[in-house]
Amino acid sequence: MKTGEYVKLETKDGRHLQGLVMKSTDVNIISLKLDSGYNIGIDRKKVKSSKVLKQNNIACVKKLQKVDFDKKLKTVTILHTGGTVASRVSYKTGAVAPSFKPEELVEMFPELSNVVNVKSKLIGNMFSEDLRFSHWNKMAKEIEKELKEVDGIILTQGTDNLGLTACALSFVLENLNKPVLLVGSQRSSDRPSSDAAINLTCAANFIAKTDFNEVGICMHARSDDEGCYILPGCKTKKLHTSRRDAFKAVNSKPIAFVTKEGNVSFLEKYHKKDHHDRLRLRLFKENLKIGILKAHPNMFAFEIKNCSKYDGLVLEGTGLAGNFPINKVDVKTQEHKLISNELKKLAKKIPVVVTSNCIFGRINMNVYDTGRNMQDIGIIGNYSDMITETAFIKLAWLLSNYDKKKVKDLFMEDFRGEISKRTEFEEEFV
């Protein structure tokens, strides 16, 4: 059996398997990509019989047709940073390989050519879990460059930090007058249950049929394949590790619903933001050190002290006030007085902001003594309904673009829709 051949195997324990032979790093193991899209390793000694159904599938690759531009359609640049959206099975190896050429994308997703003209560009392989401020700056610069020539941007990325990227770009891209949609895929395009095609085509349809000109996210609305939500850039969180409808708006509603057929329904009245000034990049300082510290039982003061080298700190506290353990109430809680002292010293040195470990709702530090004491210490964020990730991005962006002394006042100012005027609980995630 050679790499790239499509084979049928029978194992000694009675299993019948069909799939594409992939390159294996172990000569004793046959790596097979099954028809389901999953990969499996089989010990050669356990194979009873094998039959080659098709010779090397590289011969089956069709010559890609040239993509013609239709002047009647909007033009979209798809910027790739990695992830599983634009991936396909390599006929050479059987593994999943990226496809970045417009011709390849149109062959994979033929619906695109009827919706928009497609340009495509790889701006770097950026693993979603390995993102740094420098990556967001690079994305923003490429977006600025491309928007001079096209009607909108679709940026593909791995889903781990997709919400943070959307938030970061929302802040960096000031006076944005064209749409920028983040698209990911929870399941790779070599799997029958992949969400790549619908997510990508729904994003293209939304750009083609609306005058939306903000940063948003386009991902599966529900676990079925009926369509996608367009989600707000600063108020979206990934709430499930693997479900296709993992992304949900928090303390906000989705902006719109796009059906798989391309029909668009705005879920709230949308007002296009008209910017008279040209697009301006408000980039991140790449050497900034912003921390996140999560409250937990049995905390110690040294955990706060260890944050002294940060330029800013987000405290993810508990409940309504984003509470931290700062109250000495008995002999068992003497450490909490030390925690309070360390927080007070830190808040005099750097901006310290608070969020809640609760997903939904708004911070209110006026209700309980702990919240009022935290305000006295110098911790900011009262009445914020930002999730922790948004607070992290916003704090980094403010420290990158404003005088440090102004950050405390600016943190509670709404710049990009990150703070809701009114918070209503919507039980979206079921």
Which letter does DSSP use for residue 411 in this model? Answer: T
> What's the first-to-final CA gap in the chain, in angstroms?
46
Does the annotation mark 156 as catalytic?
A: no
Residue 82 CA neighbour count, 13 Å, CB half = 15
Among candidates 157, 140, 151, which has minimal Cα distance to 76? 151
Does the annotation mark 68 as catalytic?
A: no
Which letter does DSSP use for residue 359 in this model? Answer: S
- As a whole number of angstroms, the distance between CA 317 and CA 65 comes to 55
For residue 304, what are its two tokens?
């706060």
Among candidates 250, 178, 211, which has minimal Cα distance to 417? 250
DSSP strand pairing (152-156 vs 96-98): unpaired
For residue 404, what are its two tokens?
């440090």
DSSP strand pairing (117-122 vs 75-80): parallel
- As a whole number of angstroms, the distance between CA 308 and CA 14 comes to 62
Please tell me which residue in 77, 84, 165, 210 is annotated as part of the active site. Answer: 84
- As a whole number of angstroms, the distance between CA 336 and CA 354 comes to 17
- As a whole number of angstroms, the distance between CA 239 and CA 163 comes to 11
DSSP strand pairing (152-156 vs 173-174): unpaired
Does the annotation mark 160 as catalytic?
A: yes
Which letter does DSSP use for residue 374 in this model? Answer: H
Among candidates 187, 246, 189, which has minimal Cα distance to 221? 246
For residue 100, what are its two tokens?
């970045």
DSSP strand pairing (312-317 vs 352-356): parallel
Among candidates 177, 180, 143, 184, which has minimal Cα distance to 163? 184
Please tell me which residue in 11, 74, 121, 160 is annotated as part of the active site. Answer: 160
For residue 205, what are its two tokens?
């349809």
Please tell me which residue in 159, 165, 201, 355 is annotated as part of the active site. Answer: 159
Does the annotation mark 11 as catalytic?
A: no
Cβ neighbours of residue 45 under 8 Å, at least 6 residues apart? Answer: 28
Please tell me which residue in 178, 235, 238, 394 is annotated as part of the active site. Answer: 238
DSSP letters for 211-233: ---SEEEEEESSSSSSEEEEEET
Residue 369's Cβ-count burial label (10 Å; 0-12, 13-18, 19+) is: exposed
Which letter does DSSP use for residue 23 in this model? Answer: -
User: Looking at the annotation, which residues are catalytic?
Assistant: 84, 159-160, 238
